[in-house]
């Protein structure tokens, strides 16, 4: 069974998170961030943290504007999507993800390695096709058979 997708993104400044999650419907959800290390970029210099601290309950419209309208540099990122009106507590394992209200987990490790877990198979296919169109490298499905991750964490 398909759990998600994995791929590599360019190691550069930009709005790559937006490019990745664009087909998912960001504004339909409330988001949680692990507050990992990524920075806004101004005049080609790292500035304030993109996500200053771990936060639950980020409004989808706010997140869309943050990701779409800014340039940033990703190092480590954890984002999780929850239906509006549901608790947005960070899940830490795939088993917790499956039994929770969380609909998507996005992880970025070492600036380039992206893994996305998504419950909605149509949205997962849209994310896969988007990554393919964007030309992201080493695109593959994460399945029950090939998933070696023990925690949904970038650490």
What span, in angstroms and rounded, lies between the C-alpha atoms of 104 and 70?
22
pLDDT at residue 19, rounded to an integer: 97
Give every CB contact of residue 99 below 8 A, 6+ residues apart in sequence. Answer: none
Domains of the chain, residue spans? 2-143
pLDDT at residue 53, rounded to an integer: 87
**What would the DSSP string read from start to end of 2-49?**
EEEEEEE--SSSB-HHHHHHGGG-GGGEEEEE---SEEEEETTEEEEE
Q: What is the mean pLDDT of the chain?
A: 95
Q: Is the pTM of this model over 0.75?
A: yes
Tell me the per-residue pLDDT of 58-102, one tens digit each, with 9 for 90 and over: 999 999 999 999 999 999 999 999 999 988 888 999 999 999 999
């Amino acid at each position: 069974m398909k759990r998600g997708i994995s791929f590599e993104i360019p190691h550069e400044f930009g709005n790559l998170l937006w490019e990745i999650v664009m087909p998912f419907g960001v504004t339909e959800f409330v988001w949680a961030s692990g507050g990992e290390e990524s920075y806004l970029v101004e005049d080609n210099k790292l500035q304030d943290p993109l996500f200053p601290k771990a936060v639950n309950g980020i409004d989808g419209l706010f997140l869309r504007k943050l990701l779409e309208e800014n340039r940033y540099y990703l190092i480590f990122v954890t984002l999780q999507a929850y239906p509006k009106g549901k608790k947005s507590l960070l899940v830490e394992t795939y088993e917790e993800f499956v039994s929770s209200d969380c609909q998507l987990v996005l992880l970025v490790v070492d600036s380039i390695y992206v893994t996305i877990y998504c419950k909605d198979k149509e949205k997962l296919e849209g994310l896969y096709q988007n990554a393919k169109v964007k030309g992201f490298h080493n695109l593959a499905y994460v399945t029950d058979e090939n998933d070696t991750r023990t925690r949904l964490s970038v650490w």
